[in-house]
Structure 1
């Protein structure tokens, strides 16, 4: 009996090891970040499409908060959530100023796994870095100078955006004048406490989104103790019609001149939606492999694995529709961590198909 149990256990361990090696073979190595780090704005073909006529100014607002409350954990604005909209606005003919509650150089969060050409180009962009190092104190900002404002995400925004009188005044003035207000991820915290002249909350009965409770609590289980509130709760309590999408996938809510994105994966579409809201057709942009992967994942969430598999095959038959297999694997791991075993196995199947298509 003991030998039989030992044989079964050994076979199980070998099966697990073999599965692990197989899964590892499906995940490509990370990008060459050393090479990517050399990217300059001049290397981005996208920016060469900038129209000759200047279309006015957009203000990007980032947090000045460097620590998550009393936790001692560092925070700041998310680099990718500033760099990508910055270049969307620039490529579409707008000048961009950068402001923060305290002014000066704001704290930043850089996730190397998320970094791409636009993000490294931003770090090497002398003009952008000059604006960033000397960000305008928000109390010195005049709303009349801007056609739109974009509130950049980053967990620090939860602390210094909602109750800042200068931010409230800026948003109220822009909204009253019919200008465009955008925000992504934790950026919508700037909208949660804005009261209009009639005494109603700005977001009351407005369709908005932002980083959801589900997303926050998965990443930080003790978020309710660390943050003064959860963003979804705060927006709902202010009367918003909160529109959550699937966790860690793109979602953009548009309610007139108010445009909000749920999380970092919503950054590109919310910035381009702002360009449309300002009356222009966004210039063409090469869709990234990560965005293609998010489309496949959304198809899976909405229509199941069969349709997602067909979508994946269609994409990979086009050279311009590359897939980020590392991101697909990450979502499979997250599903497993959340106990969604069926979903995790489905995503592994999609991952295997993606590897097979790329090898053909």
Structure 2
């Protein structure tokens, strides 16, 4: 058993990878449904998770994203499709304004027809990608996800991948006579070339083709998803191996407690959703009656970006295998709250599943 007593301080983020997805649900102005490619999300996600990375999802607008190309006969797809915790992440993708590039070692652009819209022109996502790359991070894409880096430039307005080999879903394999293709805002091949990249591809496709050029790792189609992910992990281990040991359980728990404390203080709702299990509940006693609220009800009390004068302090953490309890104090004008948390390790990550609390009045000065 490990017991820690501590005060609030800054902690370095755990190794993370940022997935870029799209909110677009139709091809341009047509009535043809568009979506993010489910396999191109879950295959790399599974590789990264098993390698010990945490994954966050971002989209231009934040919130829910459309998913498609789902094969329920595939065991891996079925497992994630019926995983409520994972699907909740796709329902609550982060807004680019909530992302700090320094928290991530790599960025991954998933594919699907939706990837052609919203993401390529998003300046905030472009800045995030450039920021990750500037910190020795990796930029990776799959299939139509390569559209997301079509206009990627550095702070001097120069192509971030000038002279580098890049792949993605090529024009010659598209069904150009179809309405979906006619609605595309640009050609991936040509856009990469216009931004001084060298577009390369496999002529036949569906053969796992991918290309690595420096810290750009790009895959042509879904068959290369695992190859891309494994190569990203390999590069990251080489680039960040020295002096960066994996975060231990205590450090990971501190991080989610800070997500709770700082998320409530700064109106960072996505940090709260990261800290809490989807079935998280709060319990307290009011007028000798047990009062229970769901995590969603609790989160709804805060507005995005609205800061307040809550001040938090982590008092203790007690860990036993995959279970932990923690204590924190939260000060607000006129009251001091004492929070007790039950925290469990779930799918490789610690999550707050239960919070009980009490408070006392503080005399006005």
> Normalised by the shorter chain, which TM-score bucket?
0.5 to 0.7
Provide the C-alpha distance between the structure 2 equivalents of 1:68 and 1:279, rounded to a whole number of angstroms: 38
Aligned match of 2:215 in 232, 248, 257? Answer: 257
CA-based RMSD of the aligned residues comes to: 2.0
In the TM superposition, structure 1's runs of 4+ consecutive aligned residues that sit over 6 Å from their partners are none
Q: State the match for 1:14 in structure 2.
A: none
Q: State the match for 1:150 in structure 2.
A: 108
Aligned match of 1:176 in 109, 129, 134? Answer: 134
CA contact (8 A) 1:191 1:203 kept: no
Aligned: 1:164 with 2:122: yes
Number of residue pairs the alignment of both structures matches: 226
Provide the C-alpha distance between the structure 1 equivalents of 2:170 and 2:228, rounded to a whole number of angstroms: 16
SS of aligned partner of 2:174: helix
Aligned match of 1:126 in 80, 84, 88? Answer: 84
Aligned match of 1:86 in 34, 42, 45? Answer: 45
Provide the C-alpha distance between the structure 1 equivalents of 2:149 and 2:202, rounded to a whole number of angstroms: 19
Provide the C-alpha distance between the structure 2 equivalents of 1:84 and 1:75, rounded to a whole number of angstroms: 20
CA contact (8 A) 1:196 1:202 kept: yes
SS of aligned partner of 1:232: helix
CA contact (8 A) 1:252 1:269 kept: yes
SS of aligned partner of 1:122: helix
Q: State the match for 2:94 in structure 1.
A: 136
CA contact (8 A) 1:67 1:73 kept: yes
Provide the C-alpha distance between the structure 2 equivalents of 1:149 and 1:130, rounded to a whole number of angstroms: 20
Q: State the match for 1:98 in structure 2.
A: 57
Provide the C-alpha distance between the structure 1 equivalents of 2:162 and 2:68, rounded to a whole number of angstroms: 31
CA contact (8 A) 1:103 1:136 kept: yes
Within a 5 Å distance, the mapping from 1:1-360 to structure 2 comes to 56-112=15-71, 116-217=74-175, 221-222=178-179, 225-249=182-206, 250-279=208-237
Compare the two structures and name the one with the higher helix fraction. Answer: 1
Gaps of 5+ in 1: 1-53, 281-360
Q: CA deviation at 1:229?
A: 0.9
SS of aligned partner of 2:52: coil
SS of aligned partner of 2:47: helix
CA contact (8 A) 1:216 1:223 kept: no
TM-score by length of 1: 0.60
Q: CA deviation at 1:57?
A: 1.0
Q: State the match for 1:352 in structure 2.
A: none
1:124-166 deviation per Cα after TM superposition (whole angstroms, max 9, x unaligned): 2222122111111123211111111111101111111111011
1:53-81 deviation per Cα after TM superposition (whole angstroms, max 9, x unaligned): x9611111111100001221001100000
